[in-house]
Structure 1
């Protein structure tokens, strides 16, 4: 595929499910993470301060019946970045995402993709490429049925083992 639509467009074209597999212990830094490191915390009562276009896209998809799930495979003890992700995941949950966490030691026997990805309706996959230090490099799109099916199956195996967000304690 020559042109890769933005996430919002892919999600808008999704009718049933969107799943996201994340496997890095750190991603590129951003101002919200840096503010958290400096001790700033989200005012969860003031939605306007933390609600982003991404959250709106998720909320709209969920409202029209799309199930959105995210599974994170993490090393323990977790990095500061993962500790921050766990903290701010409340925003994802408020938007309607279901989120689960799987310690890397509990995933050792699973055959996993080499990079993070989204699968939309089990028919289309967007793969994310990062540098070693977590900087965004590029994305790819695949609609190859066998490839998408393999990656969707890998996600399901992770999902089955993972702990729901509200039960997972960062260590």
Structure 2
């Protein structure tokens, strides 16, 4: 399996035509750019969100051209501090144009199976799946690009099913 870097994966945001969809399955992430802001949030310190602005600006630019960015976060309850932090940030995502829904694991149908061996993934235009692989310490290791129509088709079906089960941000109360 060949993995690409985060930077290489992120180039897909400049080439997709209609929609990018992100499935998040972890209850905690270890992202270098978030380490400081998350620690500040945990200690109640203010944040200027300079670290978050590039993403928000990118989402806004894409949304103004009619492109869609959606995300489903499948979460355990009670939620972790990290998920509470993500909940606190979500209004900024929405304001920029990203639609995020929340799905408590308890609402998953019995026997529900995630494609890509239960890894997180980005689905671009229903033809490219960028599967996230993490190192043992929880940090990003790389993304595996999959264009096999059968695997991508399964991801499309899972996206649609989870989207219909997930709760809009305004309705989710952990």
TM-score bin, normalised by smaller chain:
0.7 to 0.9
Q: CA RMSD in A?
A: 2.1
Kindly indicate whether residue 42 of structure 2 is the aligned counterpart of residue 40 of structure 1: no
CA contact (8 A) 2:40 2:47 kept: no
Structure 1 ranges of 4+ moved more than 3 A: 1-5, 48-51
TM-score by length of 1: 0.87
Out of 112, 121, 128, which is 2:132 matched to? 128
For this pair of structures, how many residues does the alignment match?
166
Match 2:151 to one of 144, 147, 154: 147
In the alignment, the residues of structure 2 paired with residue 13 and residue 169 of structure 1 have an alpha-carbon distance, to the nearest angstrom, of 35
Asked if 2 retains the 8 angstrom alpha-carbon contact of 1:15 and 1:65, the reply is: no
Counterpart-to-counterpart distance in 1, 2:156 and 2:109: 18
Structure 1: 5+ residue stretches without partners = none
SS of the residue corresponding to residue 20 of structure 2 reads strand
Map residues 12-161 of structure 1 onto 2, 5 A cutoff.
Answer: 12-28=14-30, 30-42=35-47, 49=50, 51-109=52-110, 110-113=112-115, 114-161=118-165
73-82 or 139-148: bigger deviation: 139-148
TM-score, normalised to structure 2, is: 0.86
**What runs of 5+ residues in structure 2 fail to find an aligned partner?**
none
